Amino acid sequence: MSGAASSGPLRLGVLGCADVAARRTLPAVVRRPSVELVAVAGRDGDRTRAFAERFGCEAVVGYDRLLARPDIDAVYIPLPTRIHAEWSVRALHAGKHVLCEKPAATGSREAARMVAAARAGGLLLMENFMFLRHGQHTRVRELLREGAIGRLREVSADFGIPAPPTGAAEGALSSLSETGVYTLRAARLFAGEDLAVVGATLTTASAGGPDTAGAVLLRSPSGVTARLGFGWDRAYRCAYELWGSEGRLSLDRAFTTPDDHSPVLRLERPEGTRELTLPAEAHFENAVDVFASTVLRRADFEPHHEDVLRQAALVDAVRASAVTARERA
C-alpha cells in the first residue's frame, strides 16, 4: 500500500507554511525520533525555501508535487480551515496518512468525505486536537473514575482570546471553528458522546458575517450538562471545571498549555481544597508521537475516524441550534 510504513521513523511532509506549524508543530516534529521531516510544500518559492531551511528539510513549490513523492508516508495539514477537506482528500487519494489541524472539517459532509477516503485507502486520518495528548487531562479523568468529586453533574469550559486571529477580519474564520471546537471536544471528553444541543447562540459583528463568540448548552443521555463559552472579543480565558455531587475539579490554561507550564489541578471538596501540581509536558510532541505510533504499529485507525465524524456532527448541531434561536428572536 502506497504511503504505508512498517518501521520508523514516519516520513512526513507538510502542506503549507502556517504560523501554528512554525511556532509549535514543526519544532515538536524535529525533536521526535518517531518522525523524519522530509519536505514542506508552499505556493511561494522564496517563503517556502526559507521555511524549509529553518527546519532542515526540503522545499517543494506546489502541494500536489509533494503528494506525488514516494519518499513521504504521511502529511501534516495546517492550511486554512476552508481547504482542510480538499487537501486531506487529495493526500489520502495519493496514499498518504493525514494529520490535519483542527477543525478537520467545516461540517459533517466534509468529514464524511474525508473519512470515506481514509477508509478506502486503509489510511489514518487524525484531527490534531493536541490538547488531548497532555497528561493533565488523563489525571483529571483518573480522579473522576476514583470518585474525587462524586458523580459528575456538569462540565463548564471556556476559551476566549482578546483579539481575532489572522484571517478573521477577511471573514475567513469563525470563532466556533477556531475556539469553540476546543470546548466542544472537552465536553465530549468528560460528559461523553451523543451530546444533545439544548441551546446555542452565536454572536456576529455584522449581518451575514462570521461569528465572533458563542455559548452552548449540551446534555448527555445520562443527564450531565455542559456549559460552554468562547470567542475572540473578551479577556483571555482557557479553562474548564467539572462539578460533581461531592466537589469540583478545575484546570486553567487547559487547551493551549505551554511546554514549560506545570499544570495545577484544583480539587474542592466539603472538607477543604487541594491543589495538585502536575509535571510539565510538551503536548505537541506527544501528539506527533501518537500519530506516528498509530501509523507505524498499524493500530486501529477507526476510533480516530469516528472522532472526526462525531466532532463535525456536534459542530453542525450547534450551528443549527444557533440559527433556530436567531430566527425565533
> Does residue 221 belong to any structural domain of this protein?
yes
- Is 168 found in the same domain as 242? yes
For residue 325, is pLDDT > 90?
A: no
- Is 256 found in the same domain as 149? yes
Q: Which cell numbers in the block locate residue 149?
A: 468529586
- The residue among 195 and 173 whose pLDDT is bigger is 195
Q: Which cell numbers in the block locate residue 212?
A: 465572533
The residue segments making up the domain with residue 86 are 10-129+286-298
96 is catalytic: no
- Is 125 found in the same domain as 33? yes
- Is 273 found in the same domain as 141? yes
> Does residue 65 belong to any structural domain of this protein?
yes
What is each CA distance from 167 to 18, 88, 163, 237, 271, in whole angstroms? 12, 21, 12, 21, 48
What is each CA distance from 5 to 53, 72, 314, in whole angstroms? 26, 10, 33
> Does residue 66 belong to any structural domain of this protein?
yes
What is each CA distance from 172 to 164, 177, 209, 212, in whole angstroms? 11, 11, 9, 11
Report the alpha-carbon distance of residue 323 to residue 329 in Å, rounded. 10
> Does residue 151 belong to any structural domain of this protein?
yes
Catalytic annotation, pick one of 24, 90, 96, 102:
102
> Does residue 164 belong to any structural domain of this protein?
yes
**CA dihedral angle for residue 108, residue 111, residue 117, residue 122, rounded to 10 degrees:** -120
pLDDT band at 8 (very low <50, low <70, confident <90, very high): confident
- What does the chain come to in residues? 329
Q: Are 222 and 192 in contact (CB under 8 A)?
A: yes
Report the alpha-carbon distance of residue 73 to residue 90 in Å, rounded. 14
Report the alpha-carbon distance of residue 7 to residue 35 in Å, rounded. 11
- Is 158 found in the same domain as 276? yes
At residue 82, φ and ψ (nearest 5 deg) are -65, -20
- Is 175 found in the same domain as 100? no
- Is 150 found in the same domain as 93? no
> Does residue 14 belong to any structural domain of this protein?
yes
Peptide bond into 303 cis (omega under 30): no
pTM, 2 dp: 0.94
Q: For 81-116, how does the pLDDT look when each residue is reduced to its tens digit (9 = 90+)?
A: 999 999 999 999 999 999 999 999 999 999 999 999
- Is 232 found in the same domain as 144? yes
The tally of domains found in the chain comes to 2
- Is 196 found in the same domain as 56? no
pLDDT at 165: 76
- Is 121 found in the same domain as 176? no
- Is 15 found in the same domain as 156? no
> Does residue 3 belong to any structural domain of this protein?
no
Q: What is the CATH number of the domain that holds 176?
A: 3.30.360.10
Q: Are 37 and 75 in contact (CB under 8 A)?
A: no
Report the alpha-carbon distance of residue 287 to residue 29 in Å, rounded. 9
* Cα Rg, the chain, nearest whole Å: 20
Give the rounded percent of residues in the chain with a pLDDT score beyond 90.
Answer: 90
pLDDT at 172: 65
pLDDT band at 209 (very low <50, low <70, confident <90, very high): confident
- Is 251 found in the same domain as 152? yes
Q: For 149-165, how does the pLDDT look when each residue is reduced to its tens digit (9 = 90+)?
A: 999 999 999 999 998 87
For residue 249, is pLDDT > 70?
A: yes
Interior angle at CA 59, CA 2 and CA 285, nearest 5: 70
Q: What is the CATH number of the domain that holds 79?
A: 3.40.50.720
> Does residue 310 belong to any structural domain of this protein?
no
